[in-house]
Amino acid sequence: MTTVRPRILAVGTSNPPDYYSQQDILDLFRVANPMVRSMFQASHIDGRHLVLPEPGEDGIPREDQENLLRKHRKWSLKLAHEAISKALEQKGLKTSDIDYLCCITSTGMMLPGLTAMFIKHLGFRVNCHRTDVVGMGCNAGLNGLNPTANWCAANPGRNALMVCCEVNSALYVYDDTMATGVVNSLFGDGCAAVLLRAESADEELIPSIVDFYSHIIPDAWGAMRYDWATEHGKFSFYLDRDVPYVLGIHAETPIDGLLGRNGLKRRDIDHWIVHSGGKKVIDAIKYNIGITEHDVRHTVGILKQFGNLGSGSFLFSYQRLVQEGKIKAGDRAVMMTMGPGSTIETALLHW
Amino acid sequence: MYETLKFEESGDIARLTLVRDRINMAMVRELTAVCDHLEDESASKVLVIQGHEGRFCHGIDFAEFRPDQPMDIHGFNKWEKICARIEKLPKAIIALVDGACQGGGAQLMLVADAVIVSPKVAIQFNEVHLGFLPGMATFRLAKNVGLGHAKRLIMQCPVIDAEEAVSLGLCSTIADDLEAALSATVEAFGPIHNVAVTLARRLLNESFSTSFENAIGNFLAAQHRAIHQTPFLDTIRKHQD
């Protein structure tokens, strides 16, 4: 009989149907700046699922902030519906079986939040407990997983669902500068839903969530942030060029903290589930905590196929790891997400 | 403490002696324990790997295999894992090779950063003649000596003497007095900043299998780590005013 612990029972993912290669985006937005073009043409992203409007009168797709917010709302519901259904059907559950719902987004401001919208439209019970994590960026999946797992630990046998829903195409600002080019070349749309429950796991290969460890770098407070771009009348995401290095140099601190207090060494970790932040971010993590290209194969693979999916990226990698079928009983994994703050969040899993 | 190995540390130098001539699973387990120590506790800057009683190592112990039992590939995997782990240790790794250095012994020699041989050395990747493969020497050797030489060494299994080992680049130094040559090599490594040494080795080992585009990203990530360590900060402090 294994201990009753919060466990990850199932993950479901979804993306909007339209897929754009990097070249498609350059053509669609008629990108002329050669530096921006060369950034799109780097080989680490093949393409991304995005929701883009029809081109306007000048041939370029354009949306104002109102339409971007509307798009975020509409596609969050569509994507979440699909991802939630895929996760729940693996365990034969319905949305009405969920007792705690945690929703995460940073790509659109809304009030009431995603949890209220999903309860209205997707069949959750009106007495479902809920938390909305808004505006915490790419690391937010682990900021949400922490209270969700804790709720499970306090309520064994009851079902909790976390949904990371990012419509990054609702953040498009196009002006042919490098600043927006970096952002426009990197982020894709996608949603991941993860089902948690505290139970014992006697037969199935189901990981328990053992611990979390956080680290924030206040000196890099402004390295990733939303600015209001008055000339565009939109929020614009700013990504400092030193972000990969700042995250890299601090990566050891939370990893050593997480492993140290659990009596583990890095060599005891069988799987690394790292957020697909971008090529340079992944390189910085690899060389600073001494993990291999093989360790980040799913992180790199998800980046290549989908781009940076924000808060749900690490769950896409987790899903690939599980589908690969190499996990053995007793294996341990570290989940690691990085984002604004600047923040590094980590979690320890044990099968 | 160990049955198949001897391990001693003195000053900056950790010395690992292959007491058992043939590599068996007990030796792999003991090498794992040595690596645990070297990663977790050791303050040594250099790891010396050496043989015993006039030989380096004759390779795998076939006595642990049974023809009437299913062949087990996992033991080979364990051997590769320990070689890869030694190759990543945050030390300068020097192999002192005297006498026979065959099979798994030659494979182990390849993970060293520097190889010093005696004039009596006889290096041989003899696995293919015995009907199996020389482990990941199939991957490492071509990088060390080039594909043409590697094919000859692995497929024809010649015995390589000291002079040829130097001319192929398999080793750096031939010395009658291995200890004196070791001191000179340690001297040549200089201060041995473990982060710089480990990152330089990793980038070099990756250089044949990475595109330039990937490699430069890797280099910048590694360089950023290096320039934030004490040794580089000390270097630039010395050059102020």
State whether CATH 3.40.47.10 applies to domain A5-199: yes
CA–CA separation, A61 and A310 (whole Å): 23
Q: Within 10 A of A342 (CB to CB), how many other CB atoms are there?
A: 25
**Closest approach of B148 to chain A, Cα-based (Å):** 28
In one letter, which amino acid is B25? M
Nearest-by-Cβ selection for A249 from B40, B220, B224: B224
CA–CA separation, A329 and A350 (whole Å): 8
Confidence of residue A201 (pLDDT cuts 50, 70, 90): confident
Measured between CA atoms, the residue of chain A closest to residue B209 is A293
pLDDT digits (tens, 9 = 90+) for B112-125: 999 999 999 999 99
| 8 A C-beta contact, residue A315 and residue A337 | no
B62 and B148 share a domain?
A: yes
Put simply, the answer to whether A248 touches B221 (Cβ < 8 Å) is yes
Q: Using a CB-CB distance cutoff of 8 angstroms, which residues of chain A are in contact with residue B88? A: 290
Put simply, the answer to whether B225 touches A290 (Cβ < 8 Å) is no
**Closest approach of B90 to chain A, Cα-based (Å):** 11
| 8 A C-beta contact, residue A37 and residue A22 | no
Put simply, the answer to whether A283 touches B40 (Cβ < 8 Å) is no
* Structural domains of chain B, count: 2
What pLDDT score was predicted for residue A43?
73
CA–CA separation, B118 and A251 (whole Å): 44
B164 and B214 share a domain?
A: no
Query: Between the CA of residue B129 and those of A318, B106, B135, what are the distances in Å?
Result: 44, 15, 14
**Closest approach of A51 to chain B, Cα-based (Å):** 30
B213 touches chain A (CB under 8 A): yes
B88 and B36 share a domain?
A: yes
At residue A264, what are phi and psi to the nearest 5 degrees? -120, 155
In one letter, which amino acid is A37? R
pLDDT digits (tens, 9 = 90+) for A210-257: 999 999 999 999 999 999 999 999 999 999 999 999 999 999 999 999
pLDDT digits (tens, 9 = 90+) for A141-153: 999 999 999 999 9
- The answer for residues whose C-beta is within 8 angstroms of residue B40's C-beta and 6 or more apart is A265
DSSP-derived 3-state class of residue A103:
strand
A19 strand-pairing partners: A49
Nearest-by-Cβ selection for B218 from A265, A283, A290: A283
Q: Using a CB-CB distance cutoff of 8 angstroms, which residues of chain A are in contact with residue B221? A: 244-245, 248, 280, 283-284, 286-288
**Closest approach of B223 to chain A, Cα-based (Å):** 9
**Averaged over B154-176, what is the pLDDT?**
97
Confidence of residue B194 (pLDDT cuts 50, 70, 90): very high
pTM of the shown model:
0.91
Put simply, the answer to whether B225 touches A249 (Cβ < 8 Å) is yes
CA–CA separation, A18 and A52 (whole Å): 8
**What is the rounded average pLDDT for all residues in chain B?**
96
| 8 A C-beta contact, residue A18 and residue A169 | no
Alpha-carbon torsion, ordered A57, A58, A60, A61, to 10 deg: -20
B122 and B183 share a domain?
A: yes
**Averaged over A16-23, what is the pLDDT?**
96
Sole residue written with tokens 């299994």:
B157
What pLDDT score was predicted for residue A172?
86
Would you tell me the crossing angle of helices A65-89 and A114-122 to the nearest 10 degrees? 60
Which one of A243, A270, A283 makes the best mutation probe of the B interface by having the most chain B beta carbons within 10 Å?
A283
pLDDT digits (tens, 9 = 90+) for A249-275: 999 999 999 999 999 999 999 999 999
DSSP letters for A267-331 = GG--EEEE----HHHHHHHHHHHT--TTTTHHHHHHHHHH-B-GGGHHHHHHHHHHHHT---TT-
The domain that contains B155 carries what CATH number?
Answer: 3.90.226.10
B113 and B215 share a domain?
A: no
Put simply, the answer to whether A283 touches B39 (Cβ < 8 Å) is no
Put simply, the answer to whether B213 touches A249 (Cβ < 8 Å) is no
CA–CA separation, B104 and B127 (whole Å): 9
Residue of A138, A152, A165, A191 marked active site: A138
CATH number for the domain running over A208-350: 3.40.47.10
**What is the rounded average pLDDT for all residues in chain A?**
95
B115 and B202 share a domain?
A: no
B164 and B96 share a domain?
A: yes
Range of the domain at B227: 194-238
Is A152 designated active site? no
B108 and B61 share a domain?
A: yes
CA–CA separation, A96 and A86 (whole Å): 15
Domain locations in chain A as residue ranges: 5-199, 208-350
pLDDT digits (tens, 9 = 90+) for A85-141: 999 999 999 999 999 999 999 999 999 999 999 999 999 999 999 999 999 999 999
B211 and B230 share a domain?
A: yes
Confidence of residue A175 (pLDDT cuts 50, 70, 90): confident
DSSP-derived 3-state class of residue B81:
helix
What pLDDT score was predicted for residue A1?
53
pLDDT > 70: percent of chain A: 99
What tokens appear for B206 in the block?
A: 């990756």
